[in-house]
Chains A and B, each alone.
Chain A
Amino acid sequence: MIPLRTTLSFFVDPLKYLVDLPTVLVDQAADSVSSYRTLKMENERLREDQLIHQTRLLKFEALEKENIRLRALLENSFKLGEQVLVAELLSVNMAPYEHIVVVNKGTRFGVHPQQPVLDANGVVGQVFRALPFTSEIMLITDPNHAIPVQVNRNGLLTIAVGSGQLNRLVLPFLPSNADIRPGDLLITSGLGGTFPQGYPVAVVDEFTSQPNKAFATITATPKALLDRNRELMIVWSKSTPVPLISKPTANEAETRTDAVK
């Protein structure tokens, strides 16, 4: 059925771009009439942001190296290096009761189903279906979506399920005495293999436990701006873990065997 859908999408996908066209035109018009002053101010602000982020990155690289070394001590593998592709949202509405959005990058750019999708603030969702020119992305708040998460404070593992509301996730599988409080950051745990480990997902905003029920009612607010962002990032994570101790070269191996002799 997938080849048939792909073939038919060649006829149908132009319509999605056509419907998106007014939004693009309005955006471009707004860009072209914004004054020199606003542009200059925005430019300055972005420059400052850039500087701050660059400085943070300096530290991040050192930390990453340290992390690899520490993991080497634990004899643990470490996944490194993720490649991203910026995709733009098309303003079309597929089905009102499902949280599925359409972006303008498809299999022609190498997008494939089950790839994680992020924005600048956190996890957005995963690629649900990839067509040649567009792909459909299921948001983490879709009622059919669940994402394995971990409490950043203490490493408690659980699963966050979509609620059908754009600003809410539900954590239905935690007992009433779980160590979790409002304000806790939930990050991806990397279990399940779809989402890479360590990206922010949501912030816990309510924890209520009833004495007569086994499980607590916990809700969280997604970090990503699910309804306001037009730019998303589709992520490729390297499937093979980076070896921690580099393999000895031929010369080194020889000298070692000599030393043993």
Chain B
Amino acid sequence: MQLNNYVGFFRIILTLIGAMCLRIAPWPGEMAAFNPDWVLLVLVYWSLALPDRVGIFHAWTFGLLTDVLTGRLLGQYALAYSLVIYICLKLHKRLRQFPFLQQGLFVFFCLLLSQLLLFFIKNLQHPAQLHASFWLPVFTGTLAWPLVYGVLSFIGLSQRIK
């Protein structure tokens, strides 16, 4: 059981590292605006699937690493991710009963909340004028959710969101 826990831990960390690589992967030209927030999607999946294993600590740590990775103000992703994952943890029992489409809707609002927080923090730094494409990752992220769900439940442990 102990060994199994370690294997699971490394699997979770590896999927998160993979998500961070996807986060900075080069997309051709203007397509870069479509790149969804993979780290948050993976965190949401694990916090719903294994709420006793992946929690706010993981969210905060990987948020901080994402801040450094993408060169943002230190702590903005940490804050956004922690808040979203807190909500996921609070609601995970109810969400497991939801049909898949409703889960997708929930993920959409998670991504939107995170993006709103980032927008709010950006505005605090200096009044920002953002292109409409700032909101694109929310939509592409929702579309990418079935993919993330499929891949992670394939490489994941026996438990599923269900």
Contacts and interface: CB of A to CB of B under 8 A. Distances in A.
A19 B26 contact: yes
Interface residues of A, number: 24
Interface residues of B, number: 22
Contacts of A11: 65
Nearest to B69: A12
Contact of A94 (B17, B71, B131, B133): B71
A96 B35 contact: yes
A153 B131 CA distance: 36
B21 interface: yes
A12 B74 CA distance: 14
A259 interface: no
A5 B24 contact: no
A16 B17 CA distance: 11
Nearest to B64: A8
B124 interface: no
A241 B134 CA distance: 46
B25 A19 contact: yes
A1 interface: yes
Interface string A96-119: 110010000000000000000000
A253 to B, nearest CB: 55
Most chain-B Cβ atoms within 10 A of its Cβ — which of A1, A15, A23?
Answer: A15
Contacts of B134: 97
A129 B71 contact: yes
A92 B26 contact: yes
B131 A95 contact: no
Contacts of A93: 24-27, 32, 35
Contacts of A136: 71
B93 interface: no
Interface in A1-35: 1, 4-5, 8-9, 11-12, 15-16, 18-19, 23
B66 to A, nearest CB: 9
A91 interface: yes
Interface string B46-72: 000000000000000000110011111
Interface string B72-104: 101000000000000000000000000000000
Nearest to A6: B68
A12 B24 CA distance: 11
A15 B64 contact: no
Contact of A15 (B24, B72, B131, B133): B24
Interface in B126-156: 130-131, 133-134
Contacts of A128: 71
B72 A92 contact: no
A97 B35 CA distance: 12
A94 B70 contact: yes
24 contacts: A5-B74, A12-B20, A12-B65, A12-B68, A12-B69, A15-B21, A16-B24, A16-B69, A18-B21, A19-B26, A23-B26, A92-B24, A93-B25, A93-B27, A93-B32, A94-B24, A96-B32, A97-B130, A97-B133, A97-B134, A100-B71, A128-B71, A136-B71, A164-B131
Interface of B: 17, 20-21, 24-27, 32-33, 35, 64-65, 68-72, 74, 130-131, 133-134
Which 8 A/B pairs are nearest by Cβ-Cβ distance? A96-B32, A92-B24, A96-B33, A8-B68, A91-B26, A12-B69, A12-B68, A93-B32
